[in-house]
Amino acid sequence: MTVKELAAKVRLSSTPVFERLKRLEEGGYIKKYMAVLDAGKLDRGFVVFCNVKLRRMNRDIAGEFARIVQDISEVTECYNISGGFDYLLKIHAPDMKYYQEFILNVLGTVESLGSIESMFVMDEVKHVYGIHI
């Protein structure tokens, strides 16, 4: 949405809207602007949520796992979670065979990995970017 479109929506002129946007950006409320790509058209439409349990957990092991995950392009989101698993990963792949190879040759090589549980997305019902205010 352009500044002009946003200004019309909130019934203000463009100048104060632009200034407020700049303050929100500088204050860290607006983190970034991005393009949303179609994963299916990029041959990455096979989505898997993968629960990861590490063999043991401490600050060093958690830090190392976080560093490793940062460099794995198939992992698009990673959350440290509570409960029976330590991490929840969102993984984009072309298909099941690719995901199998990914588990064996990438994720499976992480030394601290204890176990994984994979859940395959059949249909995306809702996906909202950001927070509604």
| Answer CATH for 46-120 from 3.30.1360.120, 3.30.70.920, 3.40.640.10, 1.10.150.20 | 3.30.70.920
Residue 92: per-residue pLDDT: 97
Domain borders along the chain are 1-34, 46-120
Q: Is 19 exposed, middle or buried (0-12, 13-18, 19+ CB in 10 A)?
A: exposed
Reported as a single tens digit per residue, the pLDDT across 22-74 is 999 999 999 998 898 899 999 999 999 999 999 999 999 999 999 999 999 99
Give the Cα separation of 132 and 58 in Å (integer).
Answer: 35
Give pTM, 2 decimals: 0.84
